[in-house]
Structure 1
Amino acid sequence: MGSARTFESIVIIFNPNSTGNAPELAEELHGKLTKMLPYSPEIVLEPTQHAGHAVDLARDAAGRGGDVLVVSVSGDGGYNEVVNGVMQAENPKAVAAVMAAGNANDHRRTVGTKPLEEAILEGNVHNIDLLRIHTGQKENEPLEYAHSYIGFGLTPVVATELEKGSKGALTEMVSVIKTFSEFKPFEIRLDNGKRQKVDSLVFANIPEMAKYATLSEAEETPRDGKFEVIFFPHMPKWRVALNALRATTQGLGDQPSVSSYEFTTLKPLPYQMDGEVKNVEAGIKVRVESAPAALPTIG
């Protein structure tokens, strides 16, 4: 059971150049909270200026200490930045939340239970698990966290292609078909020493992804200290297509659930964290692990 919380400050982070309605939603949330809350926190609107800026804004907001709520009015990628900023601040009283304003909104759609302003009014904070990934960071570099999933292979390749064009169902469908037809598998070394060709490797903290796909039968709220591993070894493309169709219709069913997973890259690889595409160098031992109850959140 979460404890009822009030906040000294509420920082609302949004992209003013969002292709969606993030600026309008941020202003609307600011107005509602100003009228609804029976106490008077400082409520600040913080527009981002460039990619990655939300990490800095969230870290600065949470790093000032005290009871602070950092809200991301965004999709999964924007919320990923806010989560990482809050985690870097290491303020145990800081709370993160998201108001959906993106393309997929997987996390909010899967985990959210009520309108965000109502949840903030009730003040029921609870902790959820995060995914933490080690990709050869130096000692002074922060680790990276994902709130929903981390994907290697087809997942980040499709994501990169989608980001090149405008959003929309037809555009997305054409991009996916084109990318899928050109996609080639990647090779990794598993922790047992064997090399393996892989089409897709996804570590899922929530059971749904990319608006349509049901990855596993896991509970919706990530609070068990584990995550699901969805592993597609290299196979004929028609079989990959069938698996994708299955994911979008009936779901992939039960998947292995673990608290950590390791492999070694043999070539540079792109990977996707909650919609944000990043890269890892060759020869890196990648470790993905659950960070149990790492993030205080609301909503």
Structure 2
Amino acid sequence: MRALLVVNPKATTTSGRTRDVLIHALRSDLKLDVAQTQYRGHARDLAQQAAEDGTVDLVVALGGDGTVNEVVNGLLAHGPGERVPRLAVVPGGSTNVFARALGLPNDPVEATGALLDALADRRERAIGLGKALTDGLPDRWFTFTAGLGFDAGVVGRVERQRRAGRKSTHALYVVEALRHYVTEREHRRSGPISLEIHGQEPVPGMVMAIVSNTSPWTFLGSRPVFPSPSASFETDLDIFGITRMTAFRTARTVRQILRPLPAAEGGERPAGPAGKHLVSYHDVRHFTLVSEEPAPFQVDGDHLGDRSRVSFTGVRRALRVIV
């Protein structure tokens, strides 16, 4: 099997020595080419070239969620299909949410061993993905989440701190979330975002909207969060929105999102966060988020700037992943 390993040399949890060990291990079972990313978007370009080449069977992403997202967008630059190479992930970033959602070990050496075992056993999984569409801009695939509004604003603040030299830590996310909460006083009470689903009345007044492609996904390390507990790689997309962020209601909602969920019985969906200020939809294939003014937008934890209108589509069995 011919494979391409796309390496983010700035991945925060892998050293050069560790990467050499991983490359040696993968070359024991694969005809492996290795490419290091050199600029933002390079992983996408490398994966797209591999998909168009037609001789690569597998693309392995070694890095964090940003690297994985770029690789996915490169593989699917021309849409899903049988000729699209399979994807494998070796976590190397500070969060690795997608790898955890697939059930992979967070340690890159252990994850490489799990990958080689999966290849030997020919284990793969066809997963659904989300696709975000904005007029005049390239479409963007996402693996676990997208967001418009408050949560994307926090991601943007963290990215600005990282560009200024700050290390990405859990504490940094908490601090920037609190700062963003203080500065967004007006929008906390009357949000500019509306949800539009065909055949239904629009849902206005949202401060933030989180689109989930799986559940749980992790935040602050390995802590699972459940904004949409029924979201799954096997269904379309779930939507979670907040229309009012007073201190009391926000604290209550955060507790609900972070609480462990009991196993559902009899095929019932697990209960998610509840309240008059919350919006929740499960397994929606097409919908649009519209903001009265440009609002921060993120996919898979990558801030993409401000958007006024984003349409979403769930695409089932979009990509084959080695697990």
Q: TM-score, normalised by structure 2?
A: 0.79
Distance across 2 between alignment mates of 1:89 and 1:150: 21
Summarize the alignment of residues 1-299 of structure 1 with structure 2, pairs less than 5 Å apart. Answer: 7=1, 9-21=2-14, 23-35=16-28, 37=29, 41-90=30-79, 92-93=82-83, 94-113=85-104, 115-137=114-136, 142-163=138-159, 164=161, 165-184=166-185, 185=187, 186-191=191-196, 196-209=204-217, 210=219, 211-212=222-223, 213-218=225-230, 222-224=233-235, 226-250=236-260, 253-254=271-272, 255-257=280-282, 258-282=284-308, 284=309, 286-299=310-323
SS of equivalent residue, structure 1 residue 217:
coil
Distance across 1 between alignment mates of 2:104 and 2:14: 21
Deviation per CA, 1:191-248: give whole Å up to 9, x if none.
35657222221110111232432223326x5013x12111111231331222112212
**Contact in 1 for aligned 2:6/2:35 (Cα 8 Å):** yes
Equivalent residue letter for 1:95: R
Q: CA deviation at 1:89?
A: 4.8
SS of equivalent residue, structure 2 residue 27:
helix
**Count of residues in correspondence between the two structures:** 281
Identity %: 22
Distance across 2 between alignment mates of 1:281 and 1:167: 25
Q: CA deviation at 1:56?
A: 0.5
Of residues 270-279 and 247-256 in structure 1, the stretch that sits farther from structure 2 once superposed is 247-256
**Contact in 1 for aligned 2:69/2:300 (Cα 8 Å):** yes
Q: Which runs of 5+ in 1 are unaligned?
A: 1-6
Distance across 1 between alignment mates of 2:257 and 2:184: 19
Q: Which runs of 5+ in 2 are unaligned?
A: 106-113, 262-269, 273-279
Q: TM-score, normalised by structure 1?
A: 0.84
Distance across 1 between alignment mates of 2:321 and 2:195: 34
Of residues 71-80 and 192-201 in structure 1, the stretch that sits farther from structure 2 once superposed is 192-201
